[in-house]
Amino acid sequence: MTSGVCPGPITIRLASSADAETIAAIYNEGIAERIATFETEPRTAAEIATLLASKQDRYPTVVVERDGRIVGWAGASAYRSRPAYAGVAEHSVYVARAARGTGVGREALDALCRVYAERGFWKLVSRIFTENKASLVLHERCGFRVVGVYRRHGQLEGRWRDCVIVEKLL
Ligand SMILES: CC(C)(COP(=O)(O)OP(=O)(O)OC[C@H]1O[C@@H](n2cnc3c(N)ncnc32)[C@H](O)[C@@H]1OP(=O)(O)O)[C@@H](O)C(=O)NCCC(=O)NCCS
């Protein structure tokens, strides 16, 4: 998929609390579109900064920069609190609307897989709305497998939504 513009080189690094405002802005674009998440309330930079701090180095967030500006991120959190699931994390990936379709999501998600594998996680999992074609293709390209579909998994603004469960063994 091409955007019609020539994208510049990218860099990838771990996020710090200084990135909270941009991470929140990109997340809020996705929340507003109602295709990425059951979340409906925009996040503040302060909330994201607190979240990043609480995750510390155990659940790092990866940011992708192009021309020195963050254009996408991928992060994860604990899947369940039981010790048996300690090596499973549940992830998210968001790309700034203006940068989508230029390979940023792929870079972010591949980097997240590498970073979590290095930390000893054995699996990343996520849920994707069945309508979210971009995310479904991205995950397939990054080596995720479709586990199945949760029917009527939750309601978003009064409408039932189905979710595709995806996983990747790291
Ligand atoms: C889903 C999302 C992260 C994908 O990121 P992206 O940077 O646009 O994706 P990439 O450019 O890296 O593309 C990855 C693959 O998906 C494909 N793809 C991207 N957008 C697509 C679309 N709208 N329809 C079909 N395929 C698409 C690309 O062609 C590419 O496949 P290829 O390598 O065969 O060409 C991005 O669209 C986004 O931020 N959406 C809103 C938030 C969201 O839905 N997050 C996921 C929640 S589960």
- So where are the chain's domains? 10-169
pLDDT of residue 54: 95
pLDDT of residue 2: 42
The tokens for 55 are 């995750």
pLDDT of residue 6: 65
| pLDDT string in tens for the chain (170-residue length) | 444 456 788 999 999 999 999 999 999 999 999 999 999 999 999 999 999 999 999 999 999 999 999 999 999 999 999 999 999 999 999 999 999 999 999 999 999 999 999 999 999 999 999 999 999 999 999 999 999 999 999 999 999 999 999 999 99
Q: Which fold has domain 10-169?
A: Aminopeptidase (3.40.630)
CB 150 within 8 A of CB 165: yes
Closest C-alpha to ligand 1, atom 10: 103
Distance from the CA of 102 to the center of ligand 1, in angstroms?
A: 8
Decide whether any atom of ligand 1 lies within 6 Å of the 87 Cβ: no
DSSP-assigned states of every residue in 148-168: EEEEEEEEETTEEEEEEEEEE
Decide whether any atom of ligand 1 lies within 6 Å of the 32 Cβ: no
Helix (H, G, I), strand (E, B) or coil at 85: helix
pTM value is 0.96
Ligand 1, residue 33: give the atom nearest the CA: 41
Ligand 1, residue 132: give the atom nearest the CA: 44
Per the DSSP assignment, residues forming a β-bridge with 155 are 160
pLDDT of residue 126: 98
Distance from the CA of 48 to the center of ligand 1, in angstroms?
A: 23
Residue in 66, 100, 131 to alter for ligand 1 test, most ligand atoms within 8 A of Cβ: 100
Helix (H, G, I), strand (E, B) or coil at 75: strand
Return phi, psi of residue 65, to 5°: -110, 140
